[in-house]
Structure 1
């Protein structure tokens, strides 16, 4: 049976939720609230008896108040600074401060807080300021600084989920190195494998950074799915490999390849292929076949072919029709400022008529009118007469102010109507501009790819005698065209990172929308989501596939690979060499970044859509355990999210994650594919608990 999960990630605003969470922090008595942004800092101090590191009753009360607030936060970091007074030796006081900090940390751990989120600094007597017994009590303390994080958007949540997942290994650039990652991935790095973007070699140590994704929790953290141009893939695992030196990114030198072994538990599927990640506009990835099957041996057999020189000439002669370059959207300058809501006029308050009984009590001893003497009565009478005159004067003025207020209110109501119309028109213009940019980007992608494909054909024709070219002609051509096309798109102002897309200086988002609108308009993300929901289906990926297929090189590439395979079979290792085979999927990797060990999913059973009713901004995934696949769900114009091609009648577990005022919310329901989607019941969940729930998902 197919066990299918659907993950929903969305962003939702609720003033009540924010007020409730901030109130919880403010209730911590002596704590000082410093910030109302995505990072809130609260300070407290825990005091100790002389020469002691045990917590006092009062200290426990402070920490008891503190722990629930942190457990309710989306995420947190704790900073402890430990101090002593100036009595005793410096070394003894350093040890005493360390013991006090450890006591606080251990107590917070007992309350359920995570030890790895706590940093400690021991000052000992270095900052002791007091010389009296009373003053020294203030020096015997541990200061606790709590940084409570909230999430402004999905990117921040995912960044925190994936924090501390880097596996960094420092290697010697000048010799072959073998790296074994935490979950069993093996990476063999040849000597002199890396260069900087400008082609120069690093002189110092090289850091290789590995991320492993073998379960849904890791897929979600890194926003990975298993589809290739709309087709479902069955995954054997995903791995990201990058490198840096001196803080700068590296790439593989020309002709260099890494050998990567992905563990398979001894279950080798000969149909598994290597795929490279290709970023998509939603921030996820689409997987592109590398034209290479995974093998069992660490060292591949290397058969060489004799290539007819005329083959290069035939490839160079292939013509690629150039897609027309789209015209820039016809807007001048950035979005005008957002219309401002008119301010309601101040309503005057009617003057209060003085009351003789109240004034008498004001001048009477202890408010007892019976005990008031003649002098006090005279003062009360004079004050009452004075206040009555003020009341008459103020009443006349109030009538005038009230008439003015009513006139101003009439103008305010008209101004509100005008504001509503102006703001509606302003937002419609914003939506129209975003639509123009999105359509321009689609058309520009096709134009750039067609130009890049023509150049890539010339390059491949020139290098057709090289093994790296003829052994993977078709997909190698696509790789080269995609790389050149990506460079053209970046030059045009479209970054492959959607988080940076709107912030790159000079691009259309900056010039036609403006960073101020993008950063400060509260509904910007919602409007942008509406734009993508209203756009026609993006067919540029299929158009590019047709462009590539039109070169006619697929059959030639397949025949070359078949010839290589036949020659490799003649060189198969003997039985004794089979013992050296690893229980892994092994491939030669020529690109840094994410790779995937997958096969295309082919099942003749009836397929159906999974439709989730969700009118709010959301990101959805569908996870099917028995076929080891995770699909994205895409929004339509009817307030729904849809995944295609899932088995009818199979059990589905719907997992929902969303943001509500910076706090993660989680829900889980079950259904069958084809049934009406159930209502989701969400509960607030700190990051620690959210990770625990995600790790329960299986694939």
Structure 2
């Protein structure tokens, strides 16, 4: 649930117009809701996934398997024979062992009779099969029907044998077996993430399905480069208060080698489009986590992740919880410091008068002596026949003599050109010296233009800030009066016993980073009174083994060794449940064993096949 928190003008109006009225606080942080509350966009991940899969005609992203059953009918009949009923009973037995499946029923007839009659007969045969299945508790929404009459024969209708095989209903069973342990763990994670959408410039209070509430100030999210995020923020929340949640999300309650007792774990992630956001420097969220009764020494822990973002450990922050009456009262955010945006004026330099760099003179090229062998005269084919070889050679000699004459003339003139070039270079160096001086003066002028522009911007900002500061101080005075009245009303309500007890049984924290957070306390036991558990594993199949404490809300993942799973050291004499999960031949297996730490050196687990829904029910019963 996303609820808007009042802008400051709304609660100021309340102070001055309703100071004597006894308004009931609402969960948004307002004294009363806005006339047009923000419509939340709230979805659960696997609800979105299910919608997508149904639209695609699929129930899972995993590879499907298919089995086909065929039942046959007598001529002109839609009555199920004993053999057909027996075959459908076998199909029902198979489905009873599956978690994810669907049926596609396709009905056919032979070519006896008219097309219209056969279509109606096929519909009655399909209905007979569906009725038989659904009367035995098969969900109707997972059974689809198609009828084809006589138009898709399996064999020729010329013979009686062929016609008999065409009087049929084909039943395709599609199912999605579990191929890995990750498939099983993902199937247990029914709740998944909850998604909320709200405007970045609005303060909101968000409440999750399990009761977690997060108060989010306006403009608190920033991009990776520190820029304030503007637009519709998408926030994901995951809650883990039960053992089922912890197992489904593979969460463990330990900090280093010390066991924790948890009051709940919550994951928060904010995005703008595809970009993940973070909290601005100095920004904080207020979060409340529900509890039946608060426990002493609870504090805030933050999740430590590896390079792939996987949760590895919990780091203590030292921040103890508060039964924060300020948060309980849903008091609106204090007015923010002035955020003055004067609008940067575009700076355009005056580029007139920019010096032009002089062109560098080109040096003369030393003449290249012609080579006789490079001179070739190539007349056309017919002309070449008329001239003959001697005339062609004579023409080449004439061309060569002309090129030699040109070469000698260029060679004679080259010293003169070289001397002229040297004079040009002297004048060029003089021009370049003047150009460099002019460029220094020109660049100094550009810097002076920029400094003047900056000074004008500073003066403009200072003037706007001073006006905003005066307004802010007036606003802050009104806010303090509003808060004092709320606190006084709250204290009076406590004395009269009119305060909801649940609001006093919540852990309140301030959070300055996104990701996983945990409300925990250390379970302090001397090292001499603890020992690790060893859960044996004698097969090659991957397993997931969890240790759940019965007396305290603590859950530990285990570490796979060569032939067993082991844990951190656990208090001796503690009663725990050992939960094992694995997948074999596409079927989920579950093992549960209750043990007392220290009484058994090596714990053996007995796995039994269970349906995914049965495992979910078992997990829900562990708390």
TM-score, normalised on structure 1?
0.45
Higher helix share: 1
TM-score, normalised on structure 2?
0.50
| Structure of larger gyration radius | 2
Higher RCO, 1 or 2 (CA under 8 Å, sep at least 6)?
1
